[in-house]
Amino acid sequence: MTVKPDWLRVKAPQWERVGNVKEILRDLALNTVCEEASCPNIGECFQAGTATFLIMGPACTRACPYCDIDFEKKPKPLDPTEPERLAEAVRRMNLNHVVITSVNRDDLPDGGASQFVQCIAAVRAVSPKTTIEVLIPDLCGNWNALEIIIQAAPEVLNHNTETIQRLYRRVRPQGNYDRTMELLLRARQIAPWIYTKSGIMVGLGETDAEVRQVMQDLRAVDCDILTIGQYLQPSQKHLKIDNFITPEQFAAWQAFGEELGFLQVVSSPLTRSSYHAEQVRNLMERYPRSRE
């Protein structure tokens, strides 16, 4: 695998704090995308007492060649106790903001929308002041399922674009670029008050112009928040890195995104979808929205 540049090296965390988060997760038998997807920021986030919860997993029904989440095992039936266990973790970790994501569950009629709803309700019951962000799959274009999730009133709805349109067939073969844009547009139309969010990986062979086009496409569907981060190859069997993007280029994309009108652009080599996601609370204070 390609040698990482210095700007992609992370500091070793204080494992005492990390161990506390891990203990809670193990005690409640919960999965996190931090662990399942081999996130480079796991030490920093666990040390800060946060995690991104992965529901309905850890086995995924899709085999995206960039992702380290297991797709070879058969997904299990939904666990009705998962929402309560997740909510208990939120309470124990004293989270002000929680990110709930999932594997793709194309085997379920609603793509898992009902489990998202149950998790949102469970968190609201035990920690009503916690803001909730859901990072959802494309639900195979089931817009009724999307509306069910939105009606549960998460503050933030995130759906990742992942890559430029030209690379979709190679990077996200079971996804669809236009469907992703339609999902974000429909979310805005269903709930104008919601904060919509998306993210892309770079370093897979895209050009600067193509990245800027994705950013323009996202603004065209009124996406509020954008994350841009460097793709890192989880193993030799995954997609190879084409190139490492410099911090200066990430800064240039951030400036361009702000010019386009995104409320927030988080763009850096180590940025991931949920990296410092709690900062959205500051965004909500600056740009408040009413549900009426």
Whether residue 189 lies inside any domain: the answer is yes
In 3D, which of 33, 190, 144, 15 has the Cα closest to residue 98?
Answer: 33
Whether residue 81 lies inside any domain: the answer is yes
Q: Read off the CATH number of the domain in which 35 is found.
A: 3.20.20.70
Q: Domains in the chain: how many in total?
A: 1
Within 10 Å of residue 166's Cβ, how many Cβ atoms? 14
pLDDT for res 10: 62
What does residue 32 show for φ and ψ, rounded to 5 degrees?
A: -130, 150
Residue 203 and residue 230 in contact, taking contact as beta carbons nearer than 8 Å: yes
- Mean pLDDT (the chain) is 89
pLDDT for res 57: 81
pLDDT for res 36: 43
Whether residue 178 lies inside any domain: the answer is yes
Residue 227 and residue 254 in contact, taking contact as beta carbons nearer than 8 Å: no
Whether residue 224 lies inside any domain: the answer is yes
Distance between CA atoms of residues 60 and 31, nearest Å: 13
Whether residue 210 lies inside any domain: the answer is yes
Whether residue 121 lies inside any domain: the answer is yes
Domain that holds residue 29: 6-286
Q: What is the pLDDT of residues 30-75, one digit of tens each?
A: 988 655 445 554 555 555 556 789 999 888 999 899 988 877 788 9
Instruction: Fill in the amino acid letter for 121.
Output: A
For 145, residues 6+ apart whose C-beta sits below 8 A from its C-beta are: 110, 111, 113, 139
Distance between CA atoms of residues 32 and 25, nearest Å: 8
Whether residue 1 lies inside any domain: the answer is no
Binning pLDDT at 50, 70 and 90, where does residue 154 land?
A: very high
In 3D, which of 178, 160, 191, 161 has the Cα closest to residue 277?
Answer: 160
User: What end-to-end distance do the CA atoms of the chain give, in Å?
Assistant: 52
The DSSP letter of residue 57 is: -
Whether residue 291 lies inside any domain: the answer is no
Distance between CA atoms of residues 40 and 97, nearest Å: 21
Signed CA dihedral, 214, 41, 135, 191: sign only? negative
Helix (H) or strand (E) holding 196: strand 195-202
